[in-house]
Amino acid sequence: MNTNNYILNQLNNQSIFTGALIVASSINLLIIQMYKDIIVNKTNSKYTRKQIYSLAVLVSNIFLIVTIYFLIEAYESYENENTSANFNYYMAAVLSFTAQSIRINTLYKYPQTILQTQDII
């Protein structure tokens, strides 16, 4: 019975973090639309690069938190059951965490270099 509660709790947590990923991805789509508005309307745009940058930082932080959660989950899975599938899951989580850490670092360290859509997302 205790195992069932653990599995249900784990599934609930994964649902919450997956929901956070969906919200962050939706905000990414909004960022793209905002950036398109800036390109098309130039000086008459409803949005500013500062607004886009703020949303980009928010999305990156959400992705980082979710990545940390899945990194911990992958590590625990690998520790409990040493299989090649769990190792691959763990390595994917490590690479994802590394990429997201670099992304966050770039956003905070060089905010003035955010010029194109690929720089924001």
Using the structure block, give the residue that is written with the tokens 């720089």. 119
pLDDT tens, 65-91? 999 999 999 999 899 889 999 999 999
Q: Within a 10 A sphere around the Cβ of 61, how many other Cβ atoms?
A: 14
Alpha-helix residue ranges (DSSP H) falling in the chain: 2-41, 49-80, 84-109, 117-120
Mean pLDDT of 35-58: 83
pLDDT of residue 115: 55
Q: Give the Cα-Cα-Cα angle 90, 14, 74 (nearest 5 degrees).
A: 10
Give this prediction's pTM. 0.79
What are the residue boundaries of the structural domains of the chain, listed by start? 2-120
Distance spanning both ends of the chain, measured CA to CA: 43
- Summarised one tens digit per residue, pLDDT across range 88-119 is 999 999 999 999 999 888 888 877 655 555 55
Q: Average pLDDT in the 29-49 region?
A: 83
CA dist., res. 29 & res. 38, Å (int): 14
